[in-house]
Amino acid sequence: MAEFTLYCFGESGNSYKPALMLQFTGLDWQAKFVDFFNGETRTPAYREMINEMGEAPVLIHGDRKFSQSGVILDYLAEVSGKFGHTNDEERREILRWMLFDNHKFTGSIASLRFLISIAKTGETATTDWLRKRALGALAVVDGHLANNSFIIGKRPTIADFSLCGYLYYGEELPFDLNQFKHVQKWLDTIRNLEGWKHPYNLMPRKR
Ligand SMILES: N[C@@H](CCC(=O)N[C@@H](CS)C(=O)NCC(=O)O)C(=O)O
């Protein structure tokens, strides 16, 4: 039995964020498959036993349980001593970018990918709105990375792992990432860090 268990599934970029962190830190972890596509996260049992919010990821460490990828990343930085802040200013910068990620960046990119590539709704007023919002948020991050190798400067932190969570899904992304040159370079740099794996090689899938 591994020290850490991550409830996750391959298609979940939000789960990929802590899975990547577990991978980069070298912590002893195992994945526990969540059958999202058959409704597991919406069952009363999941909400009662695993996560009242009805979401993956969830991290189990001994008798402690965490949900929300940002909280899990923060906890893993604390227990591993890696990829976290070294002072209060960095702590706030990391928090600032992870909040931006959860709200506007992942919030729009993940929803757009779900509608177009998984639910296959076709183009609608909702996807049009989400695409504009996703591209706007990507432009913000691209502009920031024009002057910074990583999100809070010269070294990777949990803010990078949070923001990059959905960007390795290639053709499932319903927009052209090539227009964001600095984002592309940053993704390549993260891809070259020791231990990097694609989400589908890191987390289980059943489809
Ligand atoms: N803000 C949350 C988002 C988690 C989330 O939306 N998870 C999705 C999978 S990527 C989920 O489990 N959805 C379940 C549902 O909507 O029923 C986080 O960062 O952990």
DSSP of 61-94, one letter per residue?
A: ETTEEEESHHHHHHHHHHHH--SS-SSHHHHHHH
For ligand 1, atom 19, which residue shows the shortest CA distance? Answer: 69
- Rounded to two decimals, the pTM is 0.98
State the number of CA atoms in the 13 A half-sphere of 143 facing the CB. Answer: 6
Residue found by looking up tokens 């964020």 in the block: 17
How far is residue 138's CA from residue 142's CA, in Å, rounded to a whole number? 6
The verdict on residue 179 lying in a domain is: yes
Token representation of residue 5: 């268990």
The verdict on residue 165 lying in a domain is: yes
61 & 111 share domain: no
Grouping H, G, I as helix, E, B as strand and the rest as coil, residue 141 is helix
The verdict on residue 207 lying in a domain is: no
Residue found by looking up tokens 């993956």 in the block: 56
* Ligand 1 pocket residue status of 55, Cβ below 6 Å: yes
71 & 140 share domain: no
Q: Which amino acid is at 7?
A: Y
Grouping H, G, I as helix, E, B as strand and the rest as coil, residue 206 is coil
CATH number of the domain to which 48 belongs:
3.40.30.10
CATH number of the domain to which 134 belongs:
1.20.1050.10
93 & 183 share domain: yes
75 & 121 share domain: no
How far is residue 142's CA from residue 2's CA, in Å, rounded to a whole number? 37
Q: Can you spell out the DSSP letters for 45-57?
A: HHHHHT-TT--S-
Largest CA distance in the chain: 47
Residue found by looking up tokens 């609608």 in the block: 124
How far is residue 201's CA from residue 41's CA, in Å, rounded to a whole number? 22
123 & 46 share domain: no
* Ligand 1 pocket residue status of 102, Cβ below 6 Å: yes
99 & 172 share domain: yes
pLDDT in tens, the chain (207 residues): 999 999 999 999 999 999 999 999 999 999 999 999 999 999 999 999 999 999 999 999 999 999 999 999 999 999 999 999 999 999 999 999 999 999 999 999 999 999 999 999 999 999 999 999 999 999 999 999 999 999 998 999 999 999 999 999 999 999 999 999 999 999 999 999 999 999 999 999 986
Token representation of residue 22: 């577990």
Tell me, in angstroms, the distance from the centre of ligand 1 to residue 185's CA.
27
Using alpha carbons, list the distances in angstroms from residue 6 to 15, 23, 88.
Answer: 8, 12, 28
The verdict on residue 76 lying in a domain is: yes
136 & 159 share domain: yes
Residue found by looking up tokens 């949070």 in the block: 162
Domain that holds residue 161: 88-191
Predicted local distance difference test score (pLDDT) of residue 190: 98
Predicted local distance difference test score (pLDDT) of residue 206: 85
63 & 96 share domain: no
* Ligand 1 pocket residue status of 41, Cβ below 6 Å: yes
* Ligand 1 pocket residue status of 42, Cβ below 6 Å: yes
Query: Domain count of the chain?
Result: 2
Instruction: Answer yes or no: are the C-beta atoms of 164 and 190 closer than 8 Å.
Output: yes
Sequence length of the chain is 207
